[in-house]
């Protein structure tokens, strides 16, 4: 597949047109959506459920999520009448981590934080993607310095060379919220409390006016480190 050509062709196309192409090219059974049920993810779910409700949606239940995240998952589940597939971390690895390093080791160093993300997110993601040819994400270029080079379609070398589809790569935050409001898409109530980006409860906080939208994620780290290993920048 010539991804450069596809990126050129679909750079200015709508997210709907790009996802229609993806469904036709890969087939609905070979695409999955990775959802943490943040604003971008609920937009993608709404678009995809209208295009083809058989597309599978999974989430990484790290064991450290906010109650509001479970609430929006339930509202999405009811509205679209879909099953959400939860992937949990390996029990023995979590037990060993907490036994050896306690419950907040991710605050002690970047290595410890990456270790926790590797156990709670990266390994379950690898399991979730098995058997699929492409996964859909809500990455946008203006979310973070680590995401400025995101393309609509990429080869995900970290996940067996399957394709990563980022239909919202060129969307702004305003585009996302205009879509949510227009289409009455259920969203995580933490967004109303000043959380632009929502991950695990102990690693996410609200941001103040004027702060970067990723400022509330791992706020004790520098911006260039703020990825959990699910979306590493292209080399």
Residues known to be catalytic: 228
Using CB positions, name the residue nearest to ligand SF4. 200
Whichever of 120 and 147 has its CB closer to ligand SF4, that residue is 120
Rounded to a whole number of angstroms, the minimum distance from the CB of residue 89 to ligand SF4 is: 8
What gap in Å lies between CA 53 and CA 189, rounded to an integer? 25
What gap in Å lies between CA 163 and CA 174, rounded to an integer? 27
Whichever of 55 and 122 has its CB closer to ligand SF4, that residue is 122
Q: Does 34 bind ligand SF4 (CB under 6 A)?
A: no
Residues 170-199: x/- map of binding to ligand SF4 (CB under 6 A)? -----------------------------x
Q: Does 228 bind ligand SF4 (CB under 6 A)?
A: yes
Q: Does 202 bind ligand SF4 (CB under 6 A)?
A: yes
Instruction: Check if the beta carbon of residue 84 is closer than 8 Å to that of residue 53.
Output: no
What gap in Å lies between CA 130 and CA 141, rounded to an integer? 26
Kindly identify the residues of this chain, within the stretch 102-131, that bind ligand SF4 according to CB under 6 A: 106, 113, 116-117, 120-121
Rounded to a whole number of angstroms, the minimum distance from the CB of residue 233 to ligand SF4 is: 17
What gap in Å lies between CA 130 and CA 28, rounded to an integer? 15
Q: Does 38 bind ligand SF4 (CB under 6 A)?
A: no
Whichever of 196 and 199 has its CB closer to ligand SF4, that residue is 199
Rounded to a whole number of angstroms, the minimum distance from the CB of residue 197 to ligand SF4 is: 11
The secondary structure element, H or E, covering residue 85 is strand 84-87
What are the two backbone dihedrals, phi and then psi, of residue 161, each rounded to the nearest 5 degrees? 80, 15
Tell me how long the chain is: 235
User: 202: Cβ–Cβ under 8 A, 6 or more apart, which residues?
Assistant: 64, 104, 106, 107
What are the two backbone dihedrals, phi and then psi, of residue 165, each rounded to the nearest 5 degrees? -110, 125
Interacting residues with ligand SF4 (CB under 6 A): 62, 64, 106, 113, 116-117, 120-121, 199-200, 202-203, 228
């Amino acid at each position: 597949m010539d991804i450069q050509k596809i990126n050129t062709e679909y750079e200015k196309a709508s997210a709907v047109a790009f996802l229609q192409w993806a469904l036709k090219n890969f087939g609905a059974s070979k695409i999955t959506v990775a959802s943490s049920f943040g604003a971008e993810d609920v937009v993608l779910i709404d678009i995809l459920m209208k295009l083809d409700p058989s597309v599978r949606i999974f989430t990484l239940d790290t064991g450290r999520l906010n109650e509001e995240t479970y609430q929006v998952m339930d509202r999405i589940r009811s509205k679209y009448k879909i099953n959400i597939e939860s992937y949990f971390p390996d029990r023995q690895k979590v037990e060993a981590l907490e036994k050896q390093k306690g419950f907040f080791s991710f605050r002690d160093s970047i290595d410890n934080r990456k270790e926790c993300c590797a156990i709670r997110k990266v390994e379950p993601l690898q399991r979730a993607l098995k058997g699929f040819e492409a996964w859909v994400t809500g990455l946008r270029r203006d979310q973070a310095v680590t995401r400025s080079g995101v393309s609509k379609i990429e080869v995900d070398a970290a996940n067996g060379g399957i394709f990563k589809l980022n239909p919202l790569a060129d969307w702004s935050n305003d585009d996302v919220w205009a879509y949510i409001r227009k289409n009455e898409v259920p969203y995580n109530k933490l967004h109303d409390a000043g959380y632009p980006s929502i991950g695990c409860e102990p690693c996410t906080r609200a941001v103040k006016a004027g702060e970067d939208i990723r400022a509330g994620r791992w706020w004790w780290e520098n911006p260039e480190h703020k990825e959990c290993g699910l979306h590493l920048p292209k080399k």
